[in-house]
Structure 1
Amino acid sequence: MLLKEIVEIYNLLDSFEVTGYEIKSYLSNIRNKDVDINVHTLKVEKGSTDFVRITIPGTNGKINGGNAPTLGVLGRLGGIGARPEVTGFVSDGDGALAVLAVAAKILDMNNKGDLLKGDVVISTHICPDAPTIPHDPVPFMDSPVDMVTMNSEEVKGNLDAIISVDTTKGNRIINHNGFAISPTVKDGFILKVSEDLLDIMERTTGKSPKVLPITNQDITPYGNNIHHINSIMQPSTATSSPVVGIAITTESIVAGCATGATSPYDVEQTARYVLEVCKDFGEGKVSFYDENEWDIIKKRYGDLKILQTLGNNI
């Protein structure tokens, strides 16, 4: 149960003056040993944001000389607020809220003697005054920094797999209160949905799993003038590691810049799911893709890494 963490972090994030350093202080007060919490501010012409990266070693993780796989957990968003255009925490901030709650819960578990086997690296950014941009059917939240910069900050390190948590409410593609998972994306290929990840979804929700449909357009980089459902799959353009999107969803269309749209229960359910993936992945119980089938795919169909680029000039 992560409701306590969700409420406490929400109260921190719902502020015009919040910074990544306040988040670091909050997490450090939970546990300040055997964890690396890095914050740095990036200022550009459009504004600034604080990147937060929390590295939590596992008992058999690479940091401690072990061989358990490392999971990257990304909270994707443009910003947690769109001030001064709107007042308060926006729907787009749910991804950051969810992954920071996961970080807080793992640190609390460590204090109580429950240690994960694999290393977990949790990354997001804190921007209370991000801009917005037009998008159909509802406006997108923009970010002060471009997507290439965001990927370079969040998708780094020796990550064996990545889950990308992002608010995905402004569409008519997935209409469900809660969350949905995407197929695995690797090197430009949209692979089958991981059965292991579906199993965890069933056990944490007690319901049939929900899957986010994605297209080739969604796994290409921003900046190519092609429609994307949102930025949830953008990490896949910057890594060879398998990437799965965890979409926080609603039945109706909700803009990312909408306030009053955060459901603590949906975010908690999402965070609880992510936590279970962290546990099982480090123990070798979760596979994001079938490695034998991946070898066959590459031999039969070659290379699709062009989809990780802006493509050919036209």
Structure 2
Amino acid sequence: MALSQVIAAHDFLDSAIVTGDDVVTLFAPYSTVGVFVESNPVNDTEVGTQPDWITWFVKITIPGTSGKNSGATDPYPTLGINGRCGGTGARPQEIGMVSDGDGPVCALAAALKLADMKTKSDALLGDVIVTFHISPQGYIDTSKTPPMMGLPVTNAVMNSYEVDAAMDAILSVDASKANYITKQRGFAISPTAMQGYVLKVSSDLVNIMESTTGQHAFTFPLAIQDITPYDNGISHFNSIMQPSVATSAPVVGVAITAESAVSGSAVNANHEIDLAEAVQFCLATAKAYTARACDFYDATEFNTLVQKYGTLTVFQTEGN
């Protein structure tokens, strides 16, 4: 179970003064089992989007016994878990963690659980790289209905820190409770996005979701525009699939959902049980994927698609 880690992660991030360096300190005890953390502060004015706030980008690597960090000749694959959000807080307008902070909470909770597993000799075969950003201050985009959190930096800057070239597949976890399409309490997974293609939903991930939740799988639809760059002037479901524009690896969205339309800037709107179930899914996927026991897509079918219809990588760019 991961409920205790979710509660710990939420309490840790629900702060006006938390920084990426605090995450480094939090994981210091796990350095003895090889876990290492990178923290990078970015001044928002450097990328010309917001006032003089600091956004902290965090990368936590949990090495596997036979992953890329082990130096193995034929390393097991690396899974990326990206806690996507616009911000963890909307201070000074709102006090406390915002609904949009679901992604970082899940990512941090997953990292805490995986690190704790390593101390108990339950290491995975492949590596897991967890990324997210911390931004206690943020602005509310009132042009959206309901209001949403605006991105603290450009999408390109965010992807440069949160998408790692070593990731062979990515789970992108994001609060998606403000949409009017997918209306069920819990979480939903997306079809696989890869190199401009929207592929079918992974049957392996469906099985994992049904096993970890004890319920039928819940998915959300993607349109081609959802996997194009976020700032191209075209509407998107939200930014959950943005890691797909910065990698050739398969990306699956893990959307935290609700029955009602919950504003991304709403406080006291993080639902711990829903988050714990999403983390359980991420952990089970990490165990299976890094052991080569789970596929995000059918490689043979994908190659056939490319042979018949060509590459669609233009959708990963700004286009004409």
> Does structure 1 residue 126 correspond to structure 2 residue 134?
yes
Compared CA separation, residues 36 and 293, structure 1 to 2 (3 A): same
Match of 1:65 in 2: 71
Q: Which moved more, 1:247-256 or 1:156-165?
A: 156-165
Instruction: Tell me how far apart the structure 2 counterparts of residues 77 and 26 of structure 1 sit (CA, whole Å).
Output: 21
Match of 1:11 in 2: 11
| Residue 137 (structure 1) shift | 2.9
Q: Is the 8 A contact 2:27 2:36 kept in 1?
A: no
TM-score, with structure 1 as normaliser: 0.97
SS of match in other structure, 2:215: coil
Residues 177-210 of structure 1 show CA distances to partners (whole Å, capped at 9, x for unaligned) of 1100000001110000000000000000000000
Match of 2:43 in 1: 43
| Residue 263 (structure 1) shift | 0.6
TM-score, with structure 2 as normaliser: 0.95
> How do 1:148-163 residues align onto structure 2 when only pairs under 5 Å count?
148-163=156-171
Match of 2:257 in 1: 249
Q: Is the 8 A contact 2:64 2:127 kept in 1?
A: yes
> How do 1:227-306 residues align onto structure 2 when only pairs under 5 Å count?
227-306=235-314
Match of 1:2 in 2: 2
Match of 1:175 in 2: 183
Instruction: Tell me how far apart the structure 1 counterparts of residues 303 and 13 of structure 2 sit (CA, whole Å).
Output: 44
Instruction: Tell me how far apart the structure 2 counterparts of residues 156 and 115 of structure 1 sit (CA, whole Å).
Output: 21
Which letter maps to 1:302? G
Q: Is the 8 A contact 1:52 1:123 kept in 2?
A: yes
Match of 2:26 in 1: 26
| Residue 92 (structure 1) shift | 0.3
Instruction: Tell me how far apart the structure 1 counterparts of residues 254 and 152 of structure 2 sit (CA, whole Å).
Output: 23
> How do 1:182-221 residues align onto structure 2 when only pairs under 5 Å count?
182-221=190-229
Instruction: Tell me how far apart the structure 1 counterparts of residues 67 and 29 of structure 2 sit (CA, whole Å).
Output: 24
> Does structure 1 residue 106 correspond to structure 2 residue 86?
no
SS of match in other structure, 1:247: strand
Which letter maps to 2:311? D
Instruction: Tell me how far apart the structure 2 counterparts of residues 138 and 44 of structure 1 sit (CA, whole Å).
Output: 25
Which letter maps to 1:39? S
SS of match in other structure, 1:244: strand
Instruction: Tell me how far apart the structure 1 counterparts of residues 5 and 30 of structure 2 sit (CA, whole Å).
Output: 11
SS of match in other structure, 1:284: coil
Which letter maps to 1:53? K
| Residue 24 (structure 1) shift | 2.1
Unaligned residue ranges in structure 1 (runs of 5+): none
The root-mean-square deviation of aligned C-alpha atoms, in Å, is: 1.1
Unaligned residue ranges in structure 2 (runs of 5+): none
| Residue 288 (structure 1) shift | 0.6
Number of residues of Structure 1 aligned to a counterpart in Structure 2: 312
